[in-house]
Structures are given as C-alpha cells and as structure tokens.
Structure 1
Amino acid sequence: MDLASLEAFLAIADSGGFSAAGERLHLTQPAVSKRIAALEAQLGRRLFDRIGREVALTEAGQALLPRARRILAELEDTRRALGNLDAEVGGRLSFATSHHIGLHRLPPLLRRFGQTHPQAALDLRFLDSEQAWAEVLHGRLELAITTLGPAAAPLRTVPVWDDPLEFVVAPEHPLAGRGEVTLGDLAAHPAVLPDANTFTHRIVADRFAAEGLAPRLRMTTNTMETLKMLASVGLAWSVLPHTMLDAQTVVLRVPGVALRRQLGYVTHAGRTLSNAARAFMALLDDAAGPASVHGH
C-alpha cells in the first residue's frame, strides 16, 4: 500500500465522493480514481460501491478506514517528531477555531505569533467546536481553540478564557422593560440559540431543564454575530458572551442564574506536537495567566 493511495482513500471516505476528494488533494478525478484502482488491486478487495453519484464504503473499506487513519496519523506524527529536532519554529501549523474566538480573542495572539515566528505558516480554519474536536481526534489538526465541553481521553483540554453568558433581547422586546425575569418568563417567549449539538446550547438547555423547562426555539444558528442580529431586531431572546454586549441589545437580569462557558484549546494526548504548535500554546497559556489548569 502506498501512502498516496491511502490519502486518496481517506479523502473519499471523509468527503463522500471522488470529485470532492480531488479538490481536497488538488488532483483531477481520474487521478483519484487511478489511485483507488491501484489500492483495490493491491488488496484484492473493492473498497467503494459506486451507486450513481453516491459513494459508499464496502465492508472491506470499512475495515480499512480506521487502519488507514492510524497509518497516516503515525506518519504525520513521525514527520513532526523529526521536524522538532531542529529547535526552529517553522513549518505549517494546522489549527481550527470558531468565528467568535477568531474575531474576539485571537487577533492579538495571531499578530504576536506572526511577528515572533515569521518562518511558521498558519493554516487556520473556522469550524464549529464539535467539528474541530473531531479533526484533532483524527489527527487532521494539531490544535483546536474552541468552547470547551466535557473532554475524554485521548483529547486534552486547557482553559484559557472564562466567558460569562448573558440573556439579551431587543430594546422593544416585551421582557426588556422588566427589572428582573425568570427562566419561566423566558420559556414563554421564542429563543434563538446555537444548534442543539453544541456545547453552548447544552449549557443553556441544561439550566432550563434543571427547573423542568425548555427554551422555545424559533431557530438555531452557530454564528454568535447572527444570534446577536436576530435578537437585536426583536425576533427572539438569545444568549450572548459578555464581550459582545452593546446598545443593540438589552441584558435581562435573571436572579440565581449565572451562565458561563470556558474557552480554551484542545490537543491529542497521544500525538507529537510541532514546535509551531507548542509556541502557539505558550502564547495561549500566557493569555490564560497563572490560573490556567492543564489537562481535564
């Protein structure tokens, strides 16, 4: 098995098609097909069923998938370990963050990293937190800087920023004029929140559930700026980080309810990190200050 064919196999499995895999690998579709044909010939097994435009893994393909991931992850780990032998901070750092953190928390750190380590190339992707964690788990990214949820081995989380959350409405919303509101009051009005599978949604939903309530969702979106806009035009109430508050929305006082989330970074405990990743983590640790606790 050659590595190029394994890379093509994984790209198809992850993207769901030969064309999409070609775009990811910067190859033509016939070149991708040729690599898969060679791999299938070597293994003596068909790896994909092609049903019209749909591509599905065969039983042999499903058996190969985790092994192919391990082989390529081990190779990338070896490359990083050897690259770290010279102490320079160079090469490419592939990491992901959310739009909110990228806009509101990272700019000064990105500027400092670029000034301190001009030889390093940053490959920054904007992903939802849960998707970014999956990319770290599978070895496609070294680092994810996201909202932190419950972590299980082999992922390792390090908190950097405490992020208080506030209930907000438009100035003309029926609840805006009240000195105090309850979760019951909020449950009686429509809400706009992040998707149900996000860490932030779970923080909100769990607090309501503790009182036997549930938010009445009008719609969901994972972009905090969009949530702010929808709340500010009076469509519904929402929950926003304290850092985003301004005159466009009114903060509701909900006695006894203090929501907050942790923002930080996620790495894979079993993978070798590049010098560039270690250098960026050091900047994050500095931003966290001495209260940062490593590993959860």
Structure 2
Amino acid sequence: MINTDLFKDFLHLVQSRNFSATARDRGMSQSTLSRRIAALEAYVGAPLFDRAIQPVSLTEAGETLLPLAQSILEQMEAAYYIGHPEARRPDQKCHLISLSTLMLHFFPDWLEQHALDEPWQVDLLNTEPLLAANIRNFLSGQAEFLLTFADDRVPDLQPLRHHRYIVLGHETAVPVSRANSDGLPIWPLEGTGTIAYCGYTRGSFFQQALAPFFERLGPRIQKVRDNSMAAVIHSLVRQGHGMCWLPHMMIGDDLQSGALVRAGGPEFDLRTEIRLYRSHNMSRYAQSFWARVSEGHQICRKAVRIA
C-alpha cells in the first residue's frame, strides 16, 4: 500500500515546479522529497517529471497521474468528513486572488449567492497590476483560488493549463467612446480616420486578448494613454481622451445614460469567460468552499502537456 502523502508531494511539485520550494513548504529536505517522488515513480512505473529543464515539467505519465492524484486525495477528504463534521471550523478561511475589475464588479455578488446558509470566510489578496504577476502569486501558494477573465489565446494564461477551473459566467468587453453633440462616438472604429486609444498596459489580460482587433485596425489605432487598470481607463474614456474596450459589467449604466456610446458594432465585441481556478494544494476549508461553489459546474482542465 502506497503512502498517500506521496500524492500530496506530487501535487505540490506540479504547482511549484521547483523541488527546493516544495521541500521547504512540505517541511522536509530536498533529498527526502526526491526520494519520495522517486518512490511514487517506482510505484507508477514511469518518470513523472522531466528534471532536465527548469522549472521541472510533467512527463506524459505525470499528466496521466495528475487527475487521478487529485481525485484520490479529494475522496479521502470526503471520507474524513463522514465522522468529522467539525473539521471545517467557522474561524477558518481561504484566500483568493482576483483581477481588480472582477474584485469590484463581480466577486461580492457572486460570493453572496453561496452564503445563504452560512458565510464563507474568503480573504481577497492584493491584486497585482498585470495578469502574469497574479498568476505567479497564485502558483507560489499565496492563495488557493484565482478569479480571472480568460481566453485560451492569451499567452500569460498558459501556466494555468494543468489546473482545474470552473466557468462562472461570461463577460463582454465593449468598444466605447464618449459621444459628440450628435450622440455619435468621437472615436469610431468604422471609417478610415485615426482612432485615439486609451490602452491597457502591455502584459494585462485585455491587452493580450484584444490583439486580433489591433491587427484588424492596423495603424489607424493610436495609443494615447496607458494603464493596467480598467477603472482608470474608464475615467479617461469618459473624459474623451480616446476609446477603449471596457467590460460591460463596468459600463452598463454609462451606455444606458448615454455617457458612453459604442465605438463599433457587435463584430468588435470581445467575449471572455470568467474562470475560478483552484490550487492543487488546499486546506480542508478551501476544499469545502470549492465543493460548494463548483456544484452544478463542469470542472475543466486543459489536457495538454506542460512545456
């Protein structure tokens, strides 16, 4: 019978991709961790990690084992709860990293939907300006959950492709502009004129997701302002400095009042998913939270090898 703690070692290493960091977090020496991973590899009968490159990456056998290890540990947790209903105490909490727009305009109402019978203690950690920094903090173990907009074409999301997630909903980023005296956009996407663009900082989610539109519009679109936060860009667009694509959850009232108008038709809309990613390494409290919020959702994972 194999020691199931080896699966915990395995999952931690999958997330950190670093032997020394995993050994430190798991409270053992690096040599001990290496022996434990070797024991698991002997049990499976194949190498689980490619150690020739840094950070380490999963082999094909490691990719196959990953969902099995996750399922084994989660079923063990479920069995533990049968006779230990007090295991998730009300004074416990879990941690979540969220992109700032979702933190302000989505997270509070969404969490409230899952607190009908009891409140959940979820600490929001400080949001970094760029997507990659938030993902790096999540992968380093600072939080059990990451709430983000998602589009599989965004390169910075690739490190998450071996993590499970649920799709909580969809959001549309709409091209908007301040209106002129005739109620038309000051900076229309149709036509041939130059378009002043209040842009997202390089490395932000929307800067990457909007790349096909930038290619389509070519040199007509000229960045005049730059910021990583949609809230700041929202203010600049309202003042007439330029146009931008802004999440509908942020600008719905502006479109209704006429403070902002569409700068282009629906063919210029950017539709994204809202995803909640979960860590491989979670406390019992976080496991309970995940079980609650994932009810009724398909649990997804990109079945591709980590490069």
If the length of structure 2 is used for normalisation, what is the TM-score?
0.60
Query: Aligned pair 1:135/2:137, yes or no?
Result: yes
Give, in whole Å, the separation in 2 of the partners of 1:179 and 1:207: 15
Would the alpha carbon gap of residues 105 and 68 (structure 1) be closer, same or farther in structure 2, given more than 3 Å must change? same
Contact 1:155/1:267 (<8 A) preserved: yes
- 1:50-69 map, 5 Å: 66-69=18-21
Give, in whole Å, the separation in 2 of the partners of 1:93 and 1:212: 45
Match of 2:262 in 1: 251
Query: Aligned pair 1:196/2:198, yes or no?
Result: no
Would the alpha carbon gap of residues 179 and 114 (structure 1) be closer, same or farther in structure 2, given more than 3 Å must change? closer
Task: Name the SS of the counterpart of 2:143 in structure 1.
Answer: coil
Match of 1:281 in 2: 290
Match of 2:109 in 1: 108
Contact 1:147/1:261 (<8 A) preserved: yes
Contact 2:100/2:127 (<8 A) preserved: yes
Deviation at 1:164, TM superposition (A): 0.7
Match of 2:146 in 1: 144
Query: Aligned pair 1:172/2:188, yes or no?
Result: no
Residues 227-258 of structure 1 show CA distances to partners (whole Å, capped at 9, x for unaligned) of 11110011111111112221321112336333
If the length of structure 1 is used for normalisation, what is the TM-score?
0.62
Contact 1:195/1:222 (<8 A) preserved: yes
Would the alpha carbon gap of residues 280 and 207 (structure 1) be closer, same or farther in structure 2, given more than 3 Å must change? farther
Give, in whole Å, the separation in 2 of the partners of 1:121 and 1:241: 27
Give, in whole Å, the separation in 1 of the partners of 2:285 and 2:98: 16
Give, in whole Å, the separation in 2 of the partners of 1:293 and 1:249: 37
* Structure 1 counterpart of 2:23, one-letter code: I
Give, in whole Å, the separation in 2 of the partners of 1:223 and 1:167: 16
Match of 2:23 in 1: 71
Task: Name the SS of the counterpart of 1:158 in structure 2.
Answer: strand
Match of 1:125 in 2: 125
Query: Aligned pair 1:219/2:225, yes or no?
Result: yes
Residues 156-183 of structure 1 show CA distances to partners (whole Å, capped at 9, x for unaligned) of 3432221111111112399935897438
* Structure 2 counterpart of 1:235, one-letter code: H
Give, in whole Å, the separation in 1 of the partners of 2:173 and 2:123: 30
Which of 275, 294, 301 is equivalent to 1:295? 301
Give, in whole Å, the separation in 2 of the partners of 1:183 and 1:140: 47
Percent identity between the aligned chains? 15
Task: Name the SS of the counterpart of 2:125 in structure 1.
Answer: strand
Task: Name the SS of the counterpart of 2:170 in structure 1.
Answer: strand
Would the alpha carbon gap of residues 109 and 181 (structure 1) be closer, same or farther in structure 2, given more than 3 Å must change? closer
Match of 1:272 in 2: 281
Give, in whole Å, the separation in 2 of the partners of 1:205 and 1:170: 23
Deviation at 1:284, TM superposition (A): 4.1
Match of 2:60 in 1: none
* Structure 2 counterpart of 1:281, one-letter code: W
Match of 1:162 in 2: 170
Give, in whole Å, the separation in 2 of the partners of 1:278 and 1:225: 33
Would the alpha carbon gap of residues 263 and 205 (structure 1) be closer, same or farther in structure 2, given more than 3 Å must change? same
Give, in whole Å, the separation in 1 of the partners of 2:225 and 2:198: 5
Would the alpha carbon gap of residues 209 and 107 (structure 1) be closer, same or farther in structure 2, given more than 3 Å must change? same
Question: Which ranges in structure 1 are unaligned for 5 or more consecutive residues?
Answer: 1-64
Deviates most, 65-74 or 254-263: 65-74
Deviation at 1:146, TM superposition (A): 1.1
Which of 251, 254, 260 is equivalent to 2:271? 260
Match of 1:241 in 2: 247
Root mean square deviation of aligned Cα: 3.5
Deviation at 1:93, TM superposition (A): 0.5
Give, in whole Å, the separation in 1 of the partners of 2:114 and 2:266: 42
Match of 1:32 in 2: none
Match of 1:182 in 2: 190
Query: Aligned pair 1:89/2:91, yes or no?
Result: no
* Structure 1 counterpart of 2:108, one-letter code: P
Give, in whole Å, the separation in 2 of the partners of 1:180 and 1:234: 12
Would the alpha carbon gap of residues 202 and 229 (structure 1) be closer, same or farther in structure 2, given more than 3 Å must change? same
* Structure 2 counterpart of 1:233, one-letter code: Q
Would the alpha carbon gap of residues 181 and 113 (structure 1) be closer, same or farther in structure 2, given more than 3 Å must change? closer
Residues 86-114 of structure 1 show CA distances to partners (whole Å, capped at 9, x for unaligned) of 45434230211122112211112333555
* Structure 2 counterpart of 1:272, one-letter code: N
Give, in whole Å, the separation in 2 of the partners of 1:173 and 1:227: 22
Would the alpha carbon gap of residues 221 and 282 (structure 1) be closer, same or farther in structure 2, given more than 3 Å must change? farther
